[in-house]
Amino acid sequence: MSTPTPSTASSTASASSPSPSPTTPCDMNGGDTDPAAELERIQERYEAAGPAPSRLRVLSIEGTDPIGGAGTMADMKAFTAHGVYGYAAVTSVLAQNTQGVSAIVNLEPAFLLAQLKAVSEDALIDAIKIGMLGTPELVDAVRGWLGDLLERYRREGRRAPTVVLDPVMYAKSGDRLLTDEAETALISLFGLSDIVTPNTRELAALAGHPGSTPDSYEEIEHMAQTLAARHGVAVVAKGGGMALRGDPSCTDILAEPGLGTDGGVRITRLEGRSIRTDNVHGAGDTLSSTLAALRPQYDTLAEAARAARTWMNGAIAAADGLEVGTGHGPIDVTWRHSPTGLRFTEDYWHRTAAIRQRIESMDFIARMLDGTLPLEDFSYYLHQDDLYLQDYTSLLAQASARARTIDDRVFFAKAASFGVREGLDLHRTWFAAHGFDAAHIPMSQATAAYIGHEHRIADMLSYPALVSVVMPCYWVYSMVGSILRRRAEDDHMDLDTHPYGPWIRMYADTEFSAKTLQELRICDRLARESGHDEYELMMEAALGSTEHEYRFFDQALRRAR
């Protein structure tokens, strides 16, 4: 019961460079790839990953902070805030507070290694945040362990964990945290890392300008570009130092090697507002642990980094209310919580495995493909779809009215105004061509039940739940259309002469796939913004609609004659 609907560009909350966003094999953020193939690759990736645990699992390798604003303590809070489960291996024990660091005890490398192995030999790891490593020996211990872990995951066919390296060299107070030898050794970890997150002072040191700090964002871009090109690692250069020096903005710089012109480094500015506060203790640690938690949840690093920058704005804005300490107080890492670190659409995909299998193998679908489905039964199905779509328009209009962004509003408004008409036109053309008169056929119980489910969800006045209740109409139909088209191609069928060719083409074409991707993007974004109860309501709505989709297809062959 789905309808083709016009797509719109997805919104972004922050400015970026003019160069286009990368399109990964499973990118739901647009690009030049064929949307139908892109949607199939997303489904294949979800399928290959297998059923996911309720939360992603992220490891912090860090020092401590008894005041709770930085290091391992901040990482654990950030992991919880972003809906992931946190492991921790402690590298150093610090005596510090909001005024500075008074003592550091670096743990023995053998003991750090024992902690790391205790985690990796017993549990799987989806992402890793590496922070303070105070001695060359600690760096060596982490490098050896991490290299072995990545190799083992490769042999076992597991997805490699995202590795975020925060080159902690200086405390917020300016205190130096590493020896000269440790700073040199730290660079050896770049080749095993996906993302490096230096602050401006650390960036300058790593780019070959120790003792200095960049004076402009252009200088930060140049240093980040140099570092990314030299080591082949993505760099998120933290711009908080510029804000502390009075700059009206707080912009992070993302440098991605291999994605720029002619394979060079692409630079993206991640804009954020400058917030007047001295309470930024632990901001750097929290940004890197946030990236480690968020990166597996997004298709591109740029998207994850923007989300991290936006979330950090809120944490910094809420810092003054904590009233912790008399120096640089901590940011409020618990200002907003995510229900889970899973992507909503991936969670839905795994939860619907059984019902999707039932849909794929049902007689109605098989007989539609081989042409043995009676025309009368297909016409009955189309008539029920006709009745459904006339009501579905009201749901799309409600979604448009409740939308939180202009892009969402336009997407659902066009769907309600024009998209439904395309489906209805297909029905009317079919009825006229085959002399089918539906005037005497009432709405079926299956159709009424589906409509009732959707309106029950709509009456709860939750925009995310409303969006998710209409989502299966897109995804299930796109999935069925794609399956039928692929099977028809494998059997060398001619859809031009196939009795149900127009229907198969409508739901397997590029345009409909693009709109399905847009709907999935909206669901994922709203789920990330929701609390636990609303996330579960979204899932309940989508799962219910999927079950109704099965019954809707099935009714044509099971109706009373």
Residues 430-445: tens digit of each pLDDT: 888 888 887 788 999 9
Mean pLDDT of 271-295: 89
Contact 538/468 with Cβ under 8 angstroms?
Answer: yes
Q: Residue 87, Cα to own-chain centre: how many angstroms?
A: 21
Q: What is the pLDDT of residue 11?
A: 30
547 — pLDDT class (breaks 50, 70, 90) = very high
Mean pLDDT of 16-41: 54
pLDDT of 232-256, one tens digit each? 999 999 887 676 666 667 789 999 9
**Arithmetic mean of pLDDT over the chain:** 87
The single residue listed with the structure tokens 């743990």 is: 107
pLDDT of 483-531, one tens digit each? 999 999 998 889 889 999 989 988 998 888 999 999 999 999 999 888 8
pLDDT of 188-199, one tens digit each? 999 999 999 999
Q: What is the pLDDT of residue 560?
A: 56
Listed range (2-6, 108-112, 199-203, 456-460) with the worst mean pLDDT: 2-6
Coil/strand/helix, residue 254? strand
Q: What is the pLDDT of residue 561?
A: 55
pLDDT of 216-230, one tens digit each? 889 999 999 999 999
Both tokens assigned to 212:
């200095």
Looking at the chain, how many residues does it have? 561
Cα separation, 199 vs 73, whole angstroms: 20
166-180, 271-285, 380-394 — most confident range: 380-394
pLDDT of 57-89, one tens digit each? 999 999 999 999 999 999 999 999 999 999 999
Contact 281/331 with Cβ under 8 angstroms?
Answer: yes
Residue 264 has pLDDT above 60, yes or no: yes
Mean pLDDT of 341-352: 91
Q: What is the pLDDT of residue 216?
A: 87
What's the start-to-end Cα distance of the chain, in Å?
A: 23
Q: What is the pLDDT of residue 244?
A: 61
The domains located in the chain, with CATH, are 54-321 (3.40.1190.20), 344-555 (1.20.910.10)
Q: What is the pLDDT of residue 215?
A: 83
Residue 105 has pLDDT above 80, yes or no: yes
The answer for residues whose C-beta is within 8 angstroms of residue 112's C-beta and 6 or more apart is: 61, 89, 90, 91, 138, 141, 142
What ranges in 318-462 are assigned the alpha helix state H? 344-351, 353-361, 363-370, 375-402, 406-414, 420-434, 445-458
171 — pLDDT class (breaks 50, 70, 90) = low
Q: What is the pLDDT of residue 426?
A: 81
The model's pTM is: 0.78
Contact 189/170 with Cβ under 8 angstroms?
Answer: no
Cα separation, 306 vs 29, whole angstroms: 13
Q: What is the pLDDT of residue 531?
A: 83
Strands 100-106 and 92-97: what pairing? Answer: antiparallel
Q: What is the pLDDT of residue 175?
A: 67
45 — pLDDT class (breaks 50, 70, 90) = confident
Residue 10 has pLDDT above 70, yes or no: no
174 — pLDDT class (breaks 50, 70, 90) = low
Q: What is the pLDDT of residue 369?
A: 92
